[in-house]
Amino acid sequence: MASADSILVVEDIVKRFETPDGVLTAVDHVSFDVAPGEFLAVIGPSGCGKSTLFNVIGGLLDGYDGRVSVAGETVSGPHPSIGMIFQEESTFPWRTVIDNVAFPLEIAGMGKSERYDKARHFVGLVGLDGFERRYPSELSGGMRQRVSMARTLASEPKILLMDEPFAALDEQTRLLLGDKVLQIQQDLKQTTLLITHNLTEAVQLSDRILVMTYRPGKTKRIVDIKLPRPRTSEIVGSDAFGHYVAQIWNDLREEASKGLKDDEQRVARAGAVRK
Amino acid sequence: MSAQWLRRNDVIPVLFGIACLLAFFVLIEILVASGKINPFIVPKPSEIVTSFGRIIADENVLSRFFVTCGEALAASLMLAVTGIGLGVLLHRLRLLRLATETWVAAMASAPLVLMYPLFLVLFGRSVWTVIMIGFVAALPPVVLKTLEGLSGTRAVLINVGRSFNLTPSQLYWKILFPSALPTIFVGVRLGMIFALINIVGVEFLINFGGLGQLVNELSERYDLPGTFAAICFVILVSVVFFMATERIERWLRPGT
Report CB contact under 8 Å: B160, A90: yes
What pLDDT sits at residue B251? Answer: 86
Q: How many CB atoms lie within 10 A of CB A250?
A: 11
Average pLDDT over residues B231-253: 89
Q: Give the containing element (helix H, strand E) for A122.
A: helix A112-125
> Is the model's pLDDT at B6 over the cut of 70?
no
Per-residue pLDDT band for B173 (boundaries 50, 70, 90) equals: very high
Taking alpha carbons only, the member of A150, A96, A99 closest to residue B255 is A96
In a 13 Å sphere around the CA of A134, the CA atoms on its Cβ side amount to: 14
Q: What is the rounded CA–CA span in Å between residue A224 and residue A246?
A: 14
> Is the model's pLDDT at B214 over the cut of 70?
yes
A76 Cβ under 8 Å from any chain B Cβ: no
Residue % of chain B over a pLDDT of 90: 68
> Is the model's pLDDT at A1 over the cut of 50?
no
**Residue in A78, A83, A92 nearest the CB of B162:** A78
Report CB contact under 8 Å: B162, A135: no
A93 Cβ under 8 Å from any chain B Cβ: yes
What pLDDT sits at residue B166? Answer: 94
* Smallest Cα distance from A170 to chain B, Å: 21
Average pLDDT over residues B151-160: 96
Report CB contact under 8 Å: B157, A155: no
Return the DSSP state at A75: P
**Residue in A90, A94, A103 nearest the CB of B254:** A94
Asked if the bond preceding B254 is cis, omega within 30° of 0, the reply is no
Selected for mutation to probe chain A from B154, B163, B250 (highest A CB count within 10 Å) is B163
pLDDT in tens, A187-203: 888 999 999 988 999 99
Q: What is the rounded CA–CA span in Å between residue B186 and residue B227?
A: 30
Q: Are B200 and B219 in contact (CB under 8 A)?
A: no
B54 Cβ under 8 Å from any chain A Cβ: no
> Is the model's pLDDT at B79 over the cut of 90?
yes
A63-66 contacts at long range (C-beta below 8 A, 24 or more positions apart): A63/A15, A64/A13, A64/A14, A64/A15, A64/A27, A65/A12, A65/A13, A65/A14, A65/A15, A66/A10, A66/A11, A66/A12, A66/A13, A66/A14, A66/A29, A66/A30, A66/A31
Report CB contact under 8 Å: B157, A92: yes
> Is the model's pLDDT at B7 over the cut of 70?
no
The residues pairing with A240 across neighbouring beta strands, listed in sequence order, are none
A214 phi, psi to nearest 5 deg: -75, 150
Q: Give the containing element (helix H, strand E) for B250.
A: helix B224-252
What pLDDT sits at residue B11? Answer: 83
- CATH homologous superfamily of A8-81+158-274 equals P-loop containing nucleotide triphosphate hydrolases (3.40.50.300)
Report CB contact under 8 Å: B156, A88: yes
Return the DSSP state at B218: H
Q: Is pLDDT larger for residue A18 or for residue A268?
A: A18
- DSSP-assigned letters across all residues of A138-168: GS-HHHHHHHHHHHHHHT--SEEEEESTTTT
Please state which CATH class domain B50-252 belongs to: mainly alpha
Q: What is the rounded CA–CA span in Å between residue B108 and residue B110?
A: 6
- Indicate the range of A114-118, A221-225, A257-261 predicted with least confidence: A257-261
Q: Where are the domains of chain A?
A: 8-81+158-274, 89-156
Average pLDDT over residues A222-228: 92
Averaged pLDDT score across all residues of chain A: 90
Report CB contact under 8 Å: A107, B166: yes
* Smallest Cα distance from A136 to chain B, Å: 7
Cβ-Cβ pairs closer than 8 A, A with B, add up to 57
pLDDT in tens, A81-99: 999 999 999 999 999 999 9
Average pLDDT over residues A212-233: 89
For residue B256, list chain A residues with Cβ-Cβ distance below 8 A.
93-94, 137
* Smallest Cα distance from A104 to chain B, Å: 6
Q: Are B138 and B113 in contact (CB under 8 A)?
A: no
What pLDDT sits at residue A2? Answer: 47
B35 Cβ under 8 Å from any chain A Cβ: no
Contacts of A47 by beta carbon, 8 Å cutoff, 6+ apart:
A214, A215, A259, A262
* Smallest Cα distance from B68 to chain A, Å: 34
Averaged pLDDT score across all residues of chain B: 90
What pLDDT sits at residue B57? Answer: 87
For residue B156, list chain A residues with Cβ-Cβ distance below 8 A.
86, 88-90
Report CB contact under 8 Å: B164, A155: yes
Interface of A with B in 125-144 (CB under 8 A): 135-137
Report CB contact under 8 Å: B156, A96: no
Q: What is the rounded CA–CA span in Å between residue B91 and residue B77?
A: 21
> Is the model's pLDDT at A168 over the cut of 60?
yes
Inter-helix orientation angle B127-151/B61-92, to 10°:
40
Using CA coordinates, name the residue in chain A closest to B255: A94
> Is the model's pLDDT at B37 over the cut of 60?
yes
Q: What is the rounded CA–CA span in Å between residue A82 and residue A9?
A: 13
Q: What is the rounded CA–CA span in Å between residue B192 and residue B234?
A: 13
Contacts of B194 by beta carbon, 8 Å cutoff, 6+ apart:
B134, B137, B138, B141
B113 phi, psi to nearest 5 deg: -60, -25
Q: Are B195 and B135 in contact (CB under 8 A)?
A: yes
Per-residue pLDDT band for A3 (boundaries 50, 70, 90) equals: low
> Is the model's pLDDT at B126 over the cut of 60?
yes
